[in-house]
A = this chain, B = another copy of it.
Amino acid sequence: MSATNGAATRSPRDPEARRRALVRAAAELILESGDLTHRQVAARAKVPLGSTTYYFSSLGDLRAAALEQLADEINDELAVIAQQVAEADGDPRVLAGLLHAYLSNTDQVRADAALYSNAAQDPALRHLALRWFDGFVQMASAWTDPVTAHNIGVYIDGVTLHATLADEPLDLTTLTRGLTALLRPRDEEA
């Protein structure tokens, strides 16, 4: 008489699936409205209200988990980009193109904005917003020096921030010029 659930079914007896559903729902709500309440999350995840506090001892925990998930996704996305840039041996035009495409994706930009915004208001979340940066600097060391890697990272942060504030991301030409300049070897220096 008991249902034999396929693994895909999110059944009441699959704690991990519930947890994931809650995190996913919370992440979606953060992206959509920025607000987060137990009730909203429960409704979105189609899970009883009590589950939200059963699986996460406070709403802050749930928010942190959701943001961590967003940070992971962002990280993955940027890792792919960094990988492709590495394959192009650090060609700034390749980076510019990939970055422009990335920033043309509204959802991505919203995720970045949510991360920045929450991190700015809660120091405990700041490491999440920096995660991609550290990863990027490391990966970039394959094709440039650390200082330049930091500067490129900072520039990318700036471009991303800009995309969250302006209606459109920085145009490809400007982007290409900026990255090219940052990557060009210094001839000599004073």
Binding site for B on A (CB under 8 A): 34, 113-114, 116-117, 119-121, 126, 129-130, 133, 147-148, 150-151, 153-159, 161-162, 164-166, 170, 173-174, 177-178, 180-182, 184, 186
SS class, residues of chain A in contact with chain B: helix
Q: Residues of B contacting A133 with CB < 8 Å?
A: 162
List chain B residues, Cβ under 8 A from A148.
177, 181
Q: Are B117 and A120 interface neighbours, CB within 8 A?
A: yes
On whether A162 and B151 interact (CB within 8 A), knowing A34-B121, A184-B181, the answer reads no
A174: chain B residues within 8 A (beta carbon): 147, 150-151
Given contacts A117-B117, A130-B165, contact A177 B151 (CB under 8 A): yes
> Do A158 and B154 form a contact, CB below 8 Å, given A113-B120, A164-B120, A178-B182?
yes
- The residues of B that contact A170 with a CB separation of less than 8 Å are 150, 154
9 pairs from A and B in contact (CB 8 Å cutoff): A119-B165, A126-B165, A148-B177, A150-B170, A154-B170, A154-B178, A155-B178, A156-B158, A161-B161
Distance in Å from the Cβ of A77 to the closest Cβ of chain B? 18
A181 and B151 in contact, given A158-B156, A166-B130 (Cβ under 8 angstroms): yes
* Residue pair A184, B182 in contact (C-beta under 8 Å): no
Kindly list the 5 A-B residue pairs having the minimum CB-CB distance in the complex, ordered from nearest: A158-B158, A151-B178, A157-B158, A154-B158, A117-B120
Shortest CB distance A140–B (Å): 14
Q: Which residue of B lies closest to A125 (CB)?
A: B165
Closest chain B CB from A121 CB (angstroms) = 4
Q: A114-B120, A154-B155, A158-B161 are in contact. List 19 more A-B contacts (CB 8 A).
A: A113-B121, A116-B165, A120-B164, A130-B165, A147-B174, A148-B177, A150-B170, A150-B174, A151-B174, A151-B178, A154-B170, A157-B157, A157-B158, A157-B161, A157-B162, A180-B186, A181-B184, A182-B182, A184-B184
